[in-house]
Amino acid sequence: MSNNSKEYEKVIDYICKLIESGTVKCGDRLPTERALSATIGVGRNSIREALRILDNMGITVSRQGSGNYLADNMGGKLAGVIDMMLLTQSISPQEVRNFRCYMEVTVCNMILDNPDGCAGLTEIPHILDRFQQSGNEDKVELDRQFHYALVNATGNRMMALVMQGVMNVYRRWIDEVLRNADECDWMPLHLAHRELYDALIAKDRMAVIKAVNAHYKLVDQLSRKNK
C-alpha cells in the first residue's frame, strides 16, 4: 500500500510540475496514460489513481474517448463543492449570502488598493446606463455583469476564482428573485449600484462599505418579499 501510495504521488507531482512550468495550460490535454507511465516509470493503475484524485479535486477533467485535460473551469468546480456542502447541510444558504456580502467589501478594498483598479471599472458606466432602459431579463444579466466587473477590476486571479465559485451558487438564488422584481424594486438597486461605483471612483472606503451593505440589505428584502 505504501509503495502504491508513493507511486501515485509521483504522478501527481509530475503533472503539477507540467502545470507550473507552463507545459500544460488550462484546457490542454494531459499526456496519455501510456506516455505518463513510460516517462515516470510507474504502473498504469497508479496513473489512473492519480488522475482520479486530480479529477475529484477539480484540477483535471476526464473526457470519454478523448483523454484527460487540465480543467479550465475551476470556479465551476468550486461551485460544485459549495453545492455539496449545502446539500449535506455543512453550511447554510444564509452563510453563503453573508460570505458573498463580506467578500464584495473585500473585492472593493482590493480595487482601491490596486493602482490600476479604478481603470478596470470603465465598463460599469455603460452597464448602469443600459440598466435603466432594459427589461427584467436584461436587468438580471446587467446586474451579473456589474458584479463580475468589480471582481475583474481587482486584478487578482485567486479572488476571481473564489468569487466565481461563490457567485455561481449565489446567482441561482438571486437571479430568480430579480426576475420577479418590479420597477419599484429595481430603482433602489440601480441607485445602490451607482452609489457603489461613485464611492469607488472617489476612493471613499466608508462610502463603499455603506453602499455594499445597502445593496445586500435590499437584496435580502427582495428575497423575503418573493418567498
| Rounded (10°) angle between helices 183-201 and 205-225 | 160
76-225: CATH superfamily: GntR ligand-binding domain-like (1.20.120.530)
pLDDT per position in the chain (227 positions), as tens?
445 558 889 999 999 899 888 898 888 999 999 999 999 999 999 999 999 888 877 788 888 888 998 877 777 778 878 888 888 899 998 899 899 999 999 999 999 998 887 888 999 999 999 987 887 788 888 999 999 999 999 988 889 888 988 988 888 888 888 888 887 888 888 899 999 999 999 999 999 999 999 999 988 888 877 66
Domain ranges of the chain: 2-72, 76-225
The CATH architecture assigned to 2-72 reads Orthogonal Bundle (1.10)
- Cα-Cα end-to-end distance for the chain: 53
pLDDT in tens, 179-198: 888 878 888 888 999 999 99
| pTM value > 0.75 | no
The CA-atom distances, in angstroms, between 183 and each of 179, 216, 223 are 11, 18, 16
DSSP string, 182-219: -HHHHHHHHHHHHHHHHHHHTT-HHHHHHHHHHHHHHH
pLDDT in tens, 109-153: 999 998 887 888 999 999 999 987 887 788 888 999 999 999 999
DSSP string, 55-76: HHTTSEEEETTTEEEE-S-HHH
